[in-house]
Structure 1
């Protein structure tokens, strides 16, 4: 009877432990970097040009299809295992278009050093005293609008993936990628807040 009772308790404990499984959704950092690069290239108009593929014959095409099919039979598809990051909602597209349009005004400010890329994923007026007095309000407004759209973009990417807790990580990935993709001569900020020309 004691052995029976112990096995029941063990079974109940095992069922309870199985029912209390927490599902952890890991942040897909590599996918976030790719998404950030695509968005930055679109906003800045620096879309990398892909080389045009060499033409293939119909015999080569058939051989490639056969090889892909055989490979799928031998090695199961890892497509589901690769984390993905959705960065294509209508709101994300709207924000991206606004940022693309604004870049025509922002680029000269980045080029002359009035504005730099901050370490937190925003843009910042690097030296307010360097901006001519008649331009200060328009520069401040432009930077404010850009930063509002950037914050909304990071939030919307997290929301599109139904992971609002990813917003800070998405912001950090973008902060790193904005700086990495900055043109030579632009000012960038390090983690301590110091500015340096790239």
Structure 2
């Protein structure tokens, strides 16, 4: 066993580990939620959250960010080596790209249409579908003369939303992420919606927030 930790033994072990490293690019869940929340708040015109409190030194701290005590622990040798076996290009980026001309155009369209949809969300005529689109829930809540307008607005909104989820996946060179992006938005639309709005649960049943 002692020989394993000799220089030749360590070199052999690191070589074997390098051959076994598999690089997986995982869906950046936290970054996707942050991006979705920014877009949804913009579309629904939700006020921005207050900035995080500052420390005594004036450095802004995240609510979940621990204060450093000045003590650090050394990383184990194997962890140190494995971190360097993975190419920086393969490391998962903490950000999700949501700034492209196509995405910006869609966001502007959602923002412009938001005030027109808001009264119908409040009345319960429409609600958030569990597929991250808008669904007509009860058209009887809309005056007869306005029903065709509401149907048109919902159709245009869903077209924009479908394009948005697809464009975000494309902007990050991961079209296979479109389903997960849509699932993230489906949850965030409901979380950011004002009280009283209607939404579909996972079984398609209507609930009021």
Aligning the two structures, in what range does the TM-score lie when normalised by the shorter sequence? Answer: 0.7 to 0.9
Shift of 1:193: 1.1
Say whether 1:113 aligns with 2:124. yes
Match of 2:62 in 1: none
Spell out the pairing of 1:119-198 with structure 2 (5 A cutoff): 119-198=130-209
Cα displacement (A) at 1:103: 0.4
SS of residue matched to 2:105: helix
Q: Which secondary structure state, in structure 1, belongs to the residue aligned with residue 190 of structure 2? A: helix
Count residues with an aligned counterpart.
170
* 1:53 CA drift (Å): 6.9
Deviation at 1:49, TM superposition (A): 3.9
Q: Distance in 2 between matches of 1:25 and 1:90?
A: 26
Match of 1:8 in 2: none
1:35 aligns with 2:35: yes
Q: Offset of 1:25 from its aligned partner?
A: 1.8
Identify unmatched segments of 5+ residues in structure 1.
1-13, 62-67
Q: Where does 1:25-104 land on structure 2 (aligned, <5 Å)?
A: 25-51=25-51, 83-104=94-115
Residue pair 2:28, 2:92 contacting (<8 A) in 1 also: no
For the residues of structure 2 that align with 1:31 and 1:104, how far apart are their CA atoms?
27
2:33 equivalent to 1:24: no
Which structure carries more helix by proportion? 1
* TM-score of the two chains, using structure 1 as the length reference: 0.74
Give the ranges of 4+ consecutive aligned residues of structure 1 lying more than 4 Å apart after TM superposition: 20-23, 52-56, 79-82
Unaligned runs of 5+ in 2: 1-14, 59-67, 81-87
Distance 2:189 2:23 in 1: 32
**1:120 and 1:133 mapped to 2: Cα distance?**
27
Question: Partner residue of 2:65?
Answer: none
SS of equivalent residue, structure 1 residue 140: helix
What is the TM-score with the length of structure 2 in the denominator?
A: 0.70
